[in-house]
Amino acid sequence: MRMRKKKNLESRLENVQSLLVQTELSGGRGEPFCGKQLELSALFPAEQPLEVEIGCGKGQFAVALAQRHPDVNFLAVEVCANVIVQACEKAQAAELSNLKFLRIDAEALSVLLPEHSVRRIYLNFSCPFPKKRQQKRRLTHERFLNIYKELLTPDGEIQQKTDNRVLFGFSIEEFSRCGFVLSEVSLDLHADEPEDNIVTEYEKRFTELGQPIYRLVARPKA
């Protein structure tokens, strides 16, 4: 089902233009993406390590993370205009210079970012795409993991959190099959919540429903 366009969407997007990275992309919808690689040094005032959140939704996690770590640059990726606009508005209110947003399908990252330029990727409560024919769209499907492998620095990592047991099991299998080593695997993150955990919008919602939160860290094999 297609989401209805939010009221005033175009003017709200216009107001947060400075936070949205402009891209020259073609392709998608079954065709490979083509376009120009981004010049990272032109995106942020300081040259510092880069971390990427994919599927940032309304941006609560990305904004809190960027506030906590001013010595890191963050790119938050989101395909849906209705929600990325809200994320950008939050970031604008927080006056952050180390957080920018990409309104793209994550698949286009392979074209936009240089190889081995990303220190960490966050996958928070990614859409589970429960139907078998939709599995390719899961952000931990092999086709995405191969892109992340190219993007990560040699000591880089992926941090995944989800409430969805099926997606978590699928992800463990895909990570293992694609040459990642797993660590910090938790079947109930909040039973022993790390001090530095930043709760996302979906995490709050599912935790209030009493659902356990699954988490893992995946690193490409050396």
Residues contributing to the site for ligand SAM (CB under 6 A): 54-57, 77-80, 83, 105-106, 124-127, 200-203
Q: Which is closer to ligand SAM, CB of 83 or CB of 178?
A: 83
Q: How far is the CB of 134 from ligand SAM (least distance, A)?
A: 11
Kindly tell me which of 73 and 140 has the beta carbon lying closer to ligand SAM: 140
Q: Burial code of 117-134, b = ≥16 C-beta within 10 A, e = fewer?
A: bbbbbbbbbbebbeeeee
Residue 15 or 107: which CB sits closer to ligand SAM?
A: 107
Q: Is residue 161 within 8 Å of 200, Cβ to Cβ?
A: yes
Nearest to 162, CA basis, from 198, 189, 197, 196: 189
- Please tell me the distance from the alpha carbon of residue 71 to that of residue 46, in angstroms, as a whole number: 8
Q: Minimum distance from CB of 199 to ligand SAM (Å)? A: 9
Q: Is 152 helix (H, G, I), strand (E, B) or coil?
A: strand
Rounded least distance, CB 77 to ligand SAM, Å: 5
Q: Of 152, 149, 137, give the one whose Cα is nearest residue 55.
A: 137
Pick between residue 40 and residue 198 the one whose CB is nearest to ligand SAM: 198
Q: Please give the C-alpha separations between residue 64 and each of 55, 67, 123, 200, in angstroms, as whole numbers.
A: 15, 5, 15, 9
Of 193 and 201, the one with the shorter C-beta distance to ligand SAM is 201
The residue among 48 and 198 lying less far from ligand SAM, judged by its C-beta, is 198
Cα separation, 206 vs 222, whole angstroms: 35
Q: Are 120 and 153 in contact (CB under 8 A)?
A: no
- Coil vs helix vs strand at 192: helix
Q: CB of 222: closest distance to ligand SAM in angstroms?
A: 28
